[in-house]
Amino acid sequence: MTVTNENIARIFDEVADLLEISGESFFRVRAYRNAARVIRDLATPVQSIARDKTGKLEDLPGIGKDLAMKITEIIETGDLPLRRELESRIPVGLLEVMKVPGIGPRKAHKLYLELGVKDIETLEEVTSRGLVRNLAGFGKKTEENILQGISTIKGFGKRILRAEAEPYAAQIIEYMSSLKGLRRIEIAGSYRRLKETVGDLDILVSCENTAKALDRFINFHMVEKIISQGETRASVMLNIGLQVDMRAVHEESFGAALQYFTGSQAHSVALRRIAMKKGLKLNEYGVFRANERVAGKTEEEVYEALGLPWIPPELRENRGEIASALEGKLPVLVKLEDIKGDLHIHTDATDGRDDALTIIKAARQKGYSYVAITNHSKRVSMAGGLDEKGLLSHWEELEKVEKAIPHIHVLKGVEVDILEDGTLDISEQVLARADYVVAAVHYNTNMSRAQMTRRIIKAISNPFVHALAHATGRIINKRNSYAVDMEEIIAAAAKYDKLLELNAAPDRLDIDDVSCMEAKKHGVKISIATDAHHSGGLDYMRYGIHQARRGWLENEDVINTLNHEELVKILKNKNSRKTI
């Protein structure tokens, strides 16, 4: 287990906060705060001091016998019993309350004792009811500040979909690009790693005149508030509640800074360890041997100096990418251009907005050579799901449409509903006549984990099913996953030779990156599909590709990179166990 100095410092800071809220002596609180600061500023990892006995923890300034023991405890267990004990006595929500400007531990303590404030929600409630202004030491001005602070924190706290941030990111880049003397500009952070959600945007610039670049940035028309502004960086809040950080760096450090601020932190920590082993130092300014910069201008040369090929940002999560890079075995990730068709599409035969002709033409426009039309089945009545008879005549209709559009194959499909007991809501006689059956749970999702897992596995084992969609049922920022054991689902998909769908809609991306990796390990193939309900929905494919790349998927892992002939052969094989 790696325990960083920052990890230890944060625990000590939290302990200090909690002690202070609980009214502990000033000296005890200060001891923890000092220790946090000392450890945070230390160049060597405390963990190596403890492990290699290269020095004694107690020799560090401000660290006595008691704190040294606590540090050892954190290094060994990752946590501190004292912190857990404090957390059980004091509402942790008060730590959040202390993020409101002007509320320190003492005020938090008072709000807790006198008004029962235990988190942001209760703080907002008592403040809006006008109770805070009457507390000694608070007043009307504080009340206003608190309300303002709360609304900012709420904006800060939320992660937004990467897809939602995309147009604003593009606007800022375009806006900055017209600046004279601008040499380079790049978005780093989780955005560059193609994460499904971003906490904020991190932008790097290199410009002849740094002050001018930052000045232009803070004047972007969507800036609602300047959070901080310095000589080389600025942070702003956009009026859509998205924070954007800009850092200006020298050209000779741009690659190193891009690497550092792309992260992930875990990836960068692992890189630094490699650098150290080589007698090098890696930081946001470059790779250094003694005091000489040996790399830094480009990311490629930074990785090269460490003996590594350049690693795609979407793999930089410390999930084995560095080992693979060292062995020269980085995956050749799937690309949007490799996709030959979309295997989950709805039309106005159920809850889609476009008719089959329109959306299939749109798919053809994208250059696809096949689509599967997968409308809902009868149980999903709110979407106008089709019964057996309805499906058969719908498929007849699709055959006509297929003939009307050249150069595209139309698979007659269905998104069949998985009933509570794991059986399907369409008879096997009819399913047997489909080209493509994707099964999904829609109702009664409030089951135990074991029940839901059994339900889904039963459906996966059905010989008429090709693929499982909505494996977890999540909608990002709106609806949690069902309680379901993904490991077992993936193992079952491997056992029964079924596909798992990666839903490309940016608020679903279900299955996620980690499950994609897991599926790949088990040899389970993935269908990246948009679940489009109108022609525009076909454009979601690229978000599915993002997630697939984060999940290490290569062409051979993705079923819809196959051409039509190969695909149909595999789908038929999958149904070879059928008896009808």
> Where along the sequence are the contacts to ligand DGT (CB under 6 A)?
6, 189-190, 195, 198-200, 202, 260-261, 263-265, 268-269
State the binding partner of 263 from Ca ion, ligand DGT, none, CB within 5 to 8 A by kind. ligand DGT
CA distance 3 to 375: 50
We find the least distance from the C-beta atom of residue 201 to Ca ion, in angstroms, to be 6
We find the least distance from the C-beta atom of residue 267 to ligand DGT, in angstroms, to be 8
Tell me if 580 sits within 8 A of 432, measured CB to CB: yes
- Report DSSP letters for 382-445, one per residue: GGT-B-HHHHHHHHHHHHHHHHHSTT-EEEEEEEEEB-TTS-BSS-HHHHTT-SEEEEE--S--
- 461 CB burial (10 A radius; 0-12, 13-18, 19+): middle
We find the least distance from the C-beta atom of residue 193 to ligand DGT, in angstroms, to be 7
- Cβ closest to ligand DGT, residue 271 vs residue 504: 271
CA 431 to chain centre: 36
We find the least distance from the C-beta atom of residue 472 to ligand DGT, in angstroms, to be 21
The β-bridge relationship of strands 243-248 and 233-238 is antiparallel
- Cβ closest to Ca ion, residue 187 vs residue 538: 187
CA distance 190 to 550: 11
Under the phi-then-psi rule, with left for phi > 0, alpha for psi from -120 to 50, and beta for the rest, what region is 531? left
Positive/negative CA dihedral, 262, 187, 542, 328:
negative
State the binding partner of 473 from Ca ion, ligand DGT, none, CB within 5 to 8 A by kind. none
State the binding partner of 420 from Ca ion, ligand DGT, none, CB within 5 to 8 A by kind. none
CA 347 to chain centre: 30
186 binds Ca ion (CB under 5 A): no
State the binding partner of 121 from ligand DGT, Ca ion, none, CB within 5 to 8 A by kind. none
- Within 8 A by CB and 6+ apart from 304, the residues are 295, 310
Mask of contacts with Ca ion, 188-207, x by CB under 5 A? -xx---------x-x-----
State the binding partner of 241 from ligand DGT, Ca ion, none, CB within 5 to 8 A by kind. none
State the binding partner of 390 from ligand DGT, Ca ion, none, CB within 5 to 8 A by kind. none
We find the least distance from the C-beta atom of residue 10 to ligand DGT, in angstroms, to be 10
- Cβ closest to ligand DGT, residue 302 vs residue 349: 302
- Cβ closest to ligand DGT, residue 190 vs residue 318: 190
The CA distances from residue 375 to 117, 179, 353, 508, 576, in Å, are 50, 50, 12, 18, 24
- Within 8 A by CB and 6+ apart from 266, the residues are 317, 318
- Cβ closest to Ca ion, residue 265 vs residue 393: 265
- Cβ closest to ligand DGT, residue 200 vs residue 417: 200
The CA distances from residue 132 to 92, 142, 331, 372, in Å, are 20, 8, 57, 60
- Cβ closest to ligand DGT, residue 193 vs residue 442: 193
**From 34-42, 123-131, 184-192, 505-513, span contacting Ca ion (CB under 5 A):** 184-192
- Within 8 A by CB and 6+ apart from 219, the residues are none
- Cβ closest to ligand DGT, residue 74 vs residue 526: 74
We find the least distance from the C-beta atom of residue 266 to ligand DGT, in angstroms, to be 9
Tell me if 385 sits within 8 A of 422, measured CB to CB: no
**From 83-91, 240-248, 363-371, 492-500, span contacting Ca ion (CB under 5 A):** 240-248
Tell me if 312 sits within 8 A of 552, measured CB to CB: no
- Cβ closest to ligand DGT, residue 317 vs residue 557: 317
Mask of contacts with Ca ion, 244-283, x by CB under 5 A? -x--------------------------------------
- Cβ closest to ligand DGT, residue 249 vs residue 356: 249
State the binding partner of 243 from Ca ion, ligand DGT, none, CB within 5 to 8 A by kind. none
Total of residues contacting Ca ion (CB under 5 A): 5
Tell me if 422 sits within 8 A of 453, measured CB to CB: no
The β-bridge relationship of strands 281-283 and 233-238 is unpaired
| Binding site residues, Ca ion, CB under 5 A | 189-190, 200, 202, 245
